[in-house]
Amino acid sequence: MQIPITARLKTVAELMEETDVLCDIGCDHGYLPIYLIAQKKIKKAYACDLRDGPLKTASRNISAFHMKDCIQTVKSNGLRELTALTYDTISVCGMGGRLIAEILANDLDNAYRAKQLVLQPQSEIPVLRKFLAENGFLICEEKIAVEDRRYYVVMSVIKGEEVNRDEMSFILGRKLLERKDDITKRYFTKELQRFQTILQARGGETNAPDVQKIICELEKYV
């Protein structure tokens, strides 16, 4: 039976270092830890979720793939129940950037205990980048995943000091700007079009110097 892993979660798996124990926060269906075990990238996982429905679905899928010995479901609000667990890596994927930041902020000590965090915010990405920089986290890699013609940002994060703390870095992502692959170029071309539309809606040049700065930066890139 093939694991129905999406291109987005495959990119999350790609950015994850080989590790012993993963805590997947907001596991829903549980396919990320199932895929990572099958790939032998992790040895054990805690599939965590706030709600019973997703935990039941994850449990069913874990059983279907005969992985009950290595993946345990845990009911947890964010990182709350991680205090009693031993782990190396945390993943938080498919949630808004602000919610991911809140989840980390609510249990910072548990977040700091991870050697690596792989985060995949669906929205409000600048909010998350700013939170990480201001709370002792360093984004060491960012990558774009494409699924159904939608672009998703995936980030690999460790404890450390972020030197890029300016608004532009939070908005565009310094690590993404360093990438010159086709997918990243297409992503930034779309971003450029989005900001050009915002500028037009604001009535042109003089009213929106902030948007103009972003457009200038993106024009240098694409």
Ligand X SMILES: C[S@@+](CC[C@H](N)C(=O)[O-])C[C@H]1O[C@@H](n2cnc3c(N)ncnc32)[C@H](O)[C@@H]1O
* Interface region with ligand X, contact rule CB under 6 A, candidates 14-22, 88-96, 197-205, 213-221: 88-96
For residue 128, CA distances in Å to 50, 76, 92, 121 come to 21, 21, 12, 8
Question: 3-state class of 132 per DSSP?
Answer: helix
Answer yes or no whether residue 107 interacts with ligand X by CB under 6 A. Answer: no
Backbone angles phi, psi at 114, to 5 degrees: -80, 140
Torsion sign across C-alpha atoms 74, 77, 83, 89 = positive
Minimum Å distance from CB 187 to ligand X?
19
Residue 175 has which token pair?
A: 């690590």
Choosing from 37, 82, 90, 103, the residue that interacts with ligand X (CB under 6 A) is 103
Cross-sheet strand order for the sheet of 89-95 = 71-75, 42-49, 19-25, 89-95, 116-121, 150-159, 137-147
Minimum Å distance from CB 122 to ligand X?
8
Minimum Å distance from CB 198 to ligand X?
27
Q: What is the per-residue burial (b if ≥16 Cβ within 10 Å, else e) of 109-137?
A: ebbebbebbbbbbbebbbbbbbbbbeeeb
* Interface region with ligand X, contact rule CB under 6 A, candidates 87-95, 153-161, 172-180, 203-211: 87-95
Answer yes or no whether residue 95 interacts with ligand X by CB under 6 A. Answer: yes
Answer yes or no whether residue 49 interacts with ligand X by CB under 6 A. Answer: yes
HSE (CB half, 13 Å, CA atoms) of 4? 6
Residue 99 to residue 81: CA distance in whole angstroms: 17
**Binders of ligand X among 21-40, rule CB under 6 A?**
25-28
Choosing from 39, 72, 77, 212, the residue that interacts with ligand X (CB under 6 A) is 77
Residue 82 has which token pair?
A: 């991680």
* Interface region with ligand X, contact rule CB under 6 A, candidates 37-45, 93-101, 137-145, 151-159: 93-101
Choosing from 33, 54, 97, 173, the residue that interacts with ligand X (CB under 6 A) is 54
10 Å CB burial of residue 141 (0-12, 13-18, 19+) is middle
Answer yes or no whether residue 93 interacts with ligand X by CB under 6 A. Answer: yes
The residue (of 25 and 211) whose beta carbon lies closer to ligand X is: 25
Minimum Å distance from CB 205 to ligand X?
39
Residue 16 to residue 10: CA distance in whole angstroms: 10
Choosing from 78, 97, 121, 173, the residue that interacts with ligand X (CB under 6 A) is 78
* Interface region with ligand X, contact rule CB under 6 A, candidates 48-56, 151-159, 162-170, 211-219: 48-56
Which residues of the shown chain bind ligand X in the complex (CB under 6 A)? 9, 25-28, 49-51, 54, 76-78, 93-95, 103
